[in-house]
Structure 1
Amino acid sequence: MDRKKFLRNGLFGLGAIIALPTAISSCSKDNDNESSDDTGNNSGGDCSVSPTETKGPFPILTPAQYVRASIIGDRTGVALLMTLTIEDQSNGCTPLANVFVDVWQCDKDGLYSQYNTQTSANYLRGRQTTDQNGKVSFISIFPGWYPGRAPHIHVEIVTPEGRSLLITQIAFPVSTYTSVYATDGYNGAPDTSNTQDSIFSNSLSGNMADSVTGNNTDGYTLLKKITVA
């Protein structure tokens, strides 16, 4: 599947997504405007447990109500296709299959659904189940920012029985978010950088996306390995 067509389609409410991890794997070879770590190292072959972070604006409604690959809803912004690979440190960092991965993020204006003025909305939240390779994929938009925080995405790993294995956050390379936030519709440079962020201050290398590739026209592909204990 062509990455550019996939991302564009996603912005118009893409429904069922078939063989998505394979599509993303091939997309990762596309190195236009690739960024990995201007202010944090990607994890590479590291088997360290990913940083534990605050839940933040966690969904009020049961995440199971939002089982979906496209989480865009009615929001607009630069397309973002993300694949997360979940590994189990206690089992030699092998892929962790059949666990739930919940993601949630703010929109381009820094607003979360289900909070403050957005209590009746449920955009940019979703759940997927990892495949046998420990992978899930979501199509979204590049998040905006709000005062006091660097750009980020929230992630929680949950067992089928409902036990939380890890709550973490994903950070973005400065060069990438600087480029995105210069486009129409976003609110310019954030007031807090990765290194100034209170959440990322002692864990940035573990939070940083492993790779972010793409451009503002066709969208971006994010890859991130997350390791649970």
Structure 2
Amino acid sequence: MISVSPTLLDMERKNFLRSLLIGAVSTPAVINACKKSSVANETVGTTSTVTGGSSTANCVVAPTETEGPFPTKVPASYVRSDITDGRTGHKLTAKITIGNSSSNCSPMAGAIVDIWHCDADGNYSEYGGTGMQPTNYQSVHFLRGRQTTDVNGLVTFTSIFPGWYSGRATHIHVHVYNAAGKSLKVTQIAFPEGSGTAVALVNGYSKGMSGYTYNKNDNVFSDDATGIEIATVTGNTSSGFELKIQLSIPA
């Protein structure tokens, strides 16, 4: 595993995971564990770029978000572009471009990118058997993976469209490191919502959308007024969906 210096977010996550050993965790505890970081968005330069599917005249740094409560335990073990690992759902191809905000958001080659997200039923691998996630998936590692950016700053993952769970909108977690393994950014990707969007078409799989938390009420995405964290998502349930987003970070 890559060693990363402890931060306030790390300590918060560790304290939360330690609480799982004590007993069942209530839904409010899950929501608190997923709360937004207090780090504000940064804007640098004047280069026109696309971040989160929204055009802007500035190079906007991706917001820092929490890793928890389900981060990959040994991310270096899952270097793979296809992270489906047997999970069923509508195909999703995720294309994530990493830009260097310290260099006018130019493509960052050689960056290490980890992603992870829940399955169609809202469950995460590597966790479970608790009140927060009754189904025990501690021994499997689906929907987790690592890739290194190419010369265009791009990584591509094949996965399934994420489901949802109580208190959160549909999302994907991202952790970016430099080539030497230094942590540069922990953030999350949101999905467009509304009539005709992928979220509406998937319709929560068998769960439906009753009780779904939309971006505007999500404790991570609710303050994203300009849509920095919202990806561009195209496609359909027959042929699958394609997600594209640029995440600009200082390096």
Shorter-chain TM range is 0.7 to 0.9
SS of equivalent to 1:97: coil
**Of 133, 137, 148, which residue of structure 2 is paired with 1:118?**
137
2:103 corresponds in structure 1 to 91
Which has more radius of gyration?
2
CA contact 1:70–1:140 (8 Å) conserved in 2: yes
1:150 corresponds in structure 2 to 169
SS of equivalent to 2:207: coil
SS of equivalent to 1:87: strand
CA contact 1:144–1:186 (8 Å) conserved in 2: no
SS of equivalent to 1:166: strand
1:4 corresponds in structure 2 to none
Instruction: Give the unaligned 5+ runs of structure 2.
Output: 1-51, 129-135
Distance 1:212 1:42 in 2: 8
CA contact 2:198–2:235 (8 Å) conserved in 1: no
**Of 59, 64, 79, which residue of structure 2 is paired with 1:67?**
79
TM-score by length of 2: 0.71
The alpha-carbon deviation at position 179 of structure 1 amounts to 1.1
AA aligned to 2:115 is V
2:55 corresponds in structure 1 to 44
**Of 189, 196, 207, which residue of structure 2 is paired with 1:187?**
207
**Of 135, 159, 176, which residue of structure 1 is paired with 2:178?**
159
* Distance 1:169-1:186 versus aligned 2 partners, 3 A rule: farther
Could you list the per-position Cα deviations for residues 48-69 of structure 1 after superposition, in whole angstroms to 9, with x for gaps in the alignment?
Answer: 1011111021011x21110000
AA aligned to 2:185 is L
Distance 1:133 1:89 in 2: 14
Could you list the per-position Cα deviations for residues 80-113 of structure 1 after superposition, in whole angstroms to 9, with x for gaps in the alignment?
Answer: 0011010001012110000100000000000000
RMSD: 1.6
Instruction: Give the unaligned 5+ runs of structure 1.
Output: 1-40
Displaced runs of 4+ in structure 1, greater than 2 A? 41-46
CA contact 2:53–2:244 (8 Å) conserved in 1: no
**Of 122, 134, 138, which residue of structure 1 is paired with 2:157?**
138
Distance 1:121 1:186 in 2: 22
**Of 41, 47, 55, which residue of structure 1 is paired with 2:67?**
55
Could you list the per-position Cα deviations for residues 3-54 of structure 1 after superposition, in whole angstroms to 9, with x for gaps in the alignment?
Answer: xxxxxxxxxxxxxxxxxxxxxxxxxxxxxxxxxxxxxx73325411011111
Residue 128 (str. 1) matches residue 147 (str. 2)? yes
TM-score by length of 1: 0.78
| Percent pairwise identity | 45
Distance 1:161 1:83 in 2: 23
Tell which has more relative contact order, 1 or 2 (C-alpha 8 A, sep 6+).
Answer: 1
